[in-house]
Structure 1
Amino acid sequence: MKLPAKLSGAAIACGAALALAGAPASAQDKEPIRIGVMSSLSGAFAQMGQDGVDGVRMAFDEVNNEIAGRPVELFVEDSAMNPSTAVEKTRALVNRDGAQLVLGPLSGAAGLAVKNGADEFPNATIIVAGSAAEDITMRGIAPNVFRTSYTGAQPTFPLGNYAYQQGYRKVAIVAEDYAFPYAQVGGFMKTFCALGGTVTEKFWVPIGTSDYSSIVAQIPQDIDALFVALGGTDAVNFIKQMDQFGLLDQIDILGGTVTVDGTQLASIGPLMEGVVSGSIMSGQLENEAFKELDRKFQELRGRPPSLFVENYYRAAKWAILALQDIEGRIEDQEAFREELLQTSFQAPGSFVSFDKYHNVVPDVYLNRVQKVDGQWRNVPIRTYSRVSQFWTFDPEEYQAAPPYDRDTPSCPG
């Protein structure tokens, strides 16, 4: 039987009473480890956000919500894809709920805002479990911020190479207008354009866009492929409207990491068949950690685990391993952070470790959407081992360049 993630005050009081009566000491007799979980639980990314919360709960269920004899209390908050809200919710988790560790947020801009305000929370550690805005782990490092997910550019560097190798020379881009897609597009362009490719048009759209008809009508007819960096319902709406306009059979689609994630494939898998994307997660891996997560999530939700299930599960697992090694002493934040940096393990997505900038070093996959045993999944066609957030570039030179935005990089340029 699974234990609840958050133990009630009555349960804790009952455990204390038993100990006073001479019963053996238990986890309930000890001060709980309080952990905040922040995800996007409303709006266009709500399903991805709920997947993240599921991932965290699954990881703590594996240890019966207890670390080194101390019970674990989880406090869940919705960052609503909003940077200001993410900072406010971090403040509430730390100051109101007493969280010594915060896992999240999911959205790129929200994660960057939390990193920029992290010095307000010196007695808490933040493990960014989903947000992939680049500057969370470069161009200045916050000592209490670690990222276990990825940077937006990490999985799209090899996708740019792949596009050029496929013979694509002219590509247009449709992407959401915020930090994460800037990095996804930036990584793709940095490699694709360096080889001689050209990006003819970039269409930036707000999160939560439902009508893409004006964008679809402007897509150039002479391009070789369209790189789509949209997530959640944005991706679903765009692909469905591309299909309604009869363009899916006319233009090759390259997918951003979340565009063809499992959260979308459940509804638009047939429309995405054959689409190649770059990700740190795949839907068909042979390691035992992936197979176990796949089995458990299938039992829980009836579908394969998404990137966000794995990313939040990975963050929680990383924290659990580090806390176990220091016997649950989360109050010693310096020791906990040192242990985090030294921890490496086989996550469901791949073997993972940290670089000196507090960012994860994972494997990256180029995936193709295929139907496997009646389910639409991302199947790896190429694997790149141990990919740095700087790809093959010099870290100092990379960080000295301007951050990716709507206009950077240019191509050619």
Structure 2
Amino acid sequence: MKVTTRIQLMLMMFLMFSTWGAWYGQMGKYLFTTLKASGDQIGSAYATFSIASIVAPFFVGMIADRYFSAQKVMGVLNLIGAGVLYFLIQNQDPDTFFWYILAYTMTFAPNLALSSSIAMNQMQDPGKEFPSIRVLGTIAWIIVTNIIGLYGYGDKVTIFQIAMFTSIIWGLFAFTLPDTPPKATGQASISQILGTDAFVLFKDRSFLIFFISSVLVCIPLAFYYAHANLSLTESHMTNVENKMSLGQASEVLFMLLIPFALQKFGIKKMLIVGLVAWIVRFLCFGNGDGISSEWILYLAIVLHGVCYDFFFVTGQIYTDNKAGDKIKNSAQGLITLATYGVGMGIGSKISGLVLEKYTLQDASGIVTGHNWNGVWMVPAGIAAVVLVLFIIFFNDKKETEL
């Protein structure tokens, strides 16, 4: 790969995760603190990303695989997204917020698959080359969340103003990326038009098991994205956004270890380690306190690297190796559907209802906080069940290594 191409791909990842990191982890606290949203409203807001992620694979399969270059689709989507954010910033009602964030996520979600396709289209060996490109996204997340934490923007509309600004830059920059033309040709069938031609991968038993596991794992995962920031804040931890960036720092380390880990341990063992780490992490969130046992909260934060990398990034590489050139974009969209779509959609709604159940009120009915031990035991239990089922049913040893 040319040096200039590598730099372009790294900047693409940097801009994408700068935009995403500006608002995603802080949205729950913003809704609860500024818009006075309920737990169910917070869960619904996070579920919009999942709704968009379910639509995204079909959109990508229909557009990027067949008619337009992926980088041009990316550019148009982000410029539209910046426009949506402009109107979202003006809103003060939590119910109306749902529709604005749904519209925005519809423009953002397809980029997860598009970015992987654009990057991997330039690579000879994605397993070795992709992590060093993707790591710039993690660095971007660290930078933007530290800026937000430093200036105390976590519960303010500023998080969406930053996202709007970076989305404009990202949208314009996308048109300069290496050309990734559509590869699917010929008369399109109904399944191809809908983007479901990647469903052929389900004939591979190991991929089907991986897909189902992806859905189930993301149910507890949604709890982290929706509630970790608010949980740490109410647990008396200070400078939450800055300290949470330690999780992304650990992500950089484990990202660089992925090529070695894939070769040494294979897919199944990496996913098992990730599941165990999630269970430990949820237990730490539920039992730590920023005053008497802050080290437990720090442990929960730094476990993010192994939790995230051993599932999401490894899954992208695994999916890319399973798919041929003609359905590569649809295949990446398919794994997006499983993780950010179905799994986290279910998880977001459940997490909102659980947060509502464990909301604490004083005698006058004013919300005073949440029972976080009760909240975090739910995803810990779900992750434990998924771990046991995955160990039992993923038995095709020849498919555990790439």
Pick the TM interval, shorter chain.
under 0.3
Q: Which has the higher helix share?
A: 2
Task: Look at both structures and tell me which one has the larger radius of gyration over its CA atoms.
Answer: 1
Normalising to structure 2: TM-score of the pair?
0.26
